[in-house]
Amino acid sequence: MRVLVNTSNGIANKESLERWATDHLGERLARFGDDLTTIEVQMTDENHGAKAGETDKRCMLEARIAGHAPIAVTNYAPDQNLAFRGAIDKLEHALDHTFGKLDRREHRVRDSLRKDVEASAEGSLQLQQEQPLS
């Protein structure tokens, strides 16, 4: 899983931010690691550094899934740390939901146990008919 970090004006794009984001995403999303190709992080300062506020920082995460459409989430918070952590929570929930749907679709294609039970019942009925009564 590759992590790309982009920042806008007012937020320094330092190596430490990239390293921190990569490590934190790697820990939290490790269970999806085989399915995710890239995660793009976009940090922006909504007020462009002019003033602080309740929703001053925005973090948008976009996860690209092999063979499927990307999933994007956005979180607003007073600082980078809270914006990033909130976005990870949202992304983790979205990925759980997406992969849960994919699993359910795969299960629909498979034969159900009911069909297997019906087939084995038919087979045992044929065996009973073939065996002579003693």
pLDDT for 106: 55
Which of 78, 96, 77, 97 lies closest to 87 in space, CA to CA? 77
> Rounded distance, CA 83 to CA 30, Å?
20
Q: Which pLDDT score is estimated for 110? A: 45
pLDDT at 82: 92
Phi, psi of 78 (to 5 degrees): -70, -25
Give me Rg for the CA atoms of the chain.
25
- Domains annotated for the chain, with CATH where assigned, are 2-130 (3.30.160.100)
Task: Kindly report the number of other CB atoms within 10 A of residue 36's CB atom.
Answer: 21
The predicted pLDDT at position 45 comes to 84
Please give the helix or strand (H or E) that residue 2 lies within, else none.
strand 2-7
* Residue numbers in the chain where pLDDT is lower than 70: 9-10, 12-14, 48-55, 102-134
pLDDT digits (tens, 9 = 90+) for 23-58: 999 999 888 888 899 999 998 887 765 565 566 889
